[in-house]
Amino acid sequence: MTKKRFSFSAFFLNAILMLLSITCIYPVIWLIYSSVKTDADFMAHIFGLPALPLQWNNYYAALIRSKILNYFFNTLFNGFSSVLVIIFFAFCIGYVLARYRFKGKFLVELILMLGMIVPVHSLLVPMYIQFKLINIVDRRGVLIFPYVGIMLPLSVFLIRAYIKRLPASLEESAEIEGAGLASTLLWIIVPVAKPVLVTVSVIVFNFVWNEMPFSLILNASDKVRNIAVGIMNFASSYDVKWTLRIAACVTSLIPVILLYGFFNRQIVQSSVDGSVKG
């Protein structure tokens, strides 16, 4: 039995990675235990542990005061709608770019690439002017348009890269069995491409959940406001309840954490499959 030799470089690298992990995890832990403090305890000991009894009523007060349930609904609606639209179009476009050669293919890829390069926030003013002219500002669902436009190019390239590594024999076998293109895509390619589709869905939903500038400009009304903007406007100018705001922030983290927890395996599988040629 061979003994493993101690590697100083590996130890040093692991130590750095552990420190970086702590810097990522600690802010979330701090949010959680700060959300059950009193305001006086929080201001006196910002980084200290909470004193007993824990203030669980902060969550109840945050839900009532911030209208966070309404913000939840608005963001979930925008998120799921954007995911469905992007997955449909990105899968169709990505499959065509991965499997077919046609005139203008390079131009299509170039346009999609430019869509990833252009700073999206530079489009805020012209988009607001256009939407104002057609009277769809402050309407539920208006944010789906910029979200699809922003996330579609990245989604297309991720799906195209994944499908490109799938063997063409999948479609050939289905064609021999008499299956049409629609049946082949629905019953063969989609199940095989499930990891990348889940990954794209999580990336898009996470972007929508945390997006603020477009929601702030295009949906200024409290009735259709996203959760990120809702939490930002939680405190008034005369009454800043930090523990209630932190409780609202912790509540807003729950859907994203659950999403990553449920689909962690598919995300890892997509990353592995995308980095290794099939």
Cα pseudo-dihedral 229, 232, 234, 237, rounded to 10: -130
Tokens of 87: 């997955």
Predicted local distance difference test score (pLDDT) of residue 57: 82
Predicted local distance difference test score (pLDDT) of residue 20: 85
Q: Say if residue 74's pLDDT is above 50.
A: yes
Predicted local distance difference test score (pLDDT) of residue 3: 54
* pLDDT tens digits along 161-216: 899 888 888 877 877 777 788 888 888 888 888 888 988 998 999 899 988 889 88
Predicted local distance difference test score (pLDDT) of residue 153: 92
Q: The CATH number of 67-242+253-275 is which of 3.40.50.970, 3.40.50.720, 1.10.3720.10, 3.40.50.880?
A: 1.10.3720.10
Q: Say if residue 54's pLDDT is above 90.
A: no
Residue 191, Cβ density class (10 Å: 0-12 exposed, 13-18 middle, ≥19 buried) = exposed
| Between 206 and 5, residue with greater pLDDT | 206
Predicted local distance difference test score (pLDDT) of residue 84: 94
Q: Say if residue 90's pLDDT is above 90.
A: yes
- At 232, is the pLDDT very low, low, confident or very high (cuts 50, 70, 90)? confident
Q: What mean pLDDT, rounded, does the chain reach?
A: 82
Phi, psi of 29 (to 5 degrees): -60, -40
- Candidate from 109-113, 197-201, 251-255 with smallest mean pLDDT: 251-255
User: Helix/strand/coil (H, E, C) string of the chain?
Assistant: CCCCCCCHHHHHHHHHHHHHHHHHHHHHHHHHHHCCCCHHHHHHCCCCCCCCCCCCHHHHHHHHHCCHHHHHHHHHHHHHHHHHHHHHHHHHHHHHHHHCCCCCHHHHHHHHHHHHHCCHHHHHHHHHHHHHHCCCCCCCCCCHHHHHHHHHHHHHHHHHHHHHCCCCHHHHHHHHCCCCHHHHHHHHHHHHCHHHHHHHHHHHHHHHHHCCHHHHHHCCCHHHCCHHHHHHCCCCCCCCCHHHHHHHHHHHHHHHHHHHHHCHHHHHHHHHHHHCCC
Predicted local distance difference test score (pLDDT) of residue 237: 40
| Predicted TM-score of the model (pTM) | 0.81
Q: Say if residue 224's pLDDT is above 90.
A: no
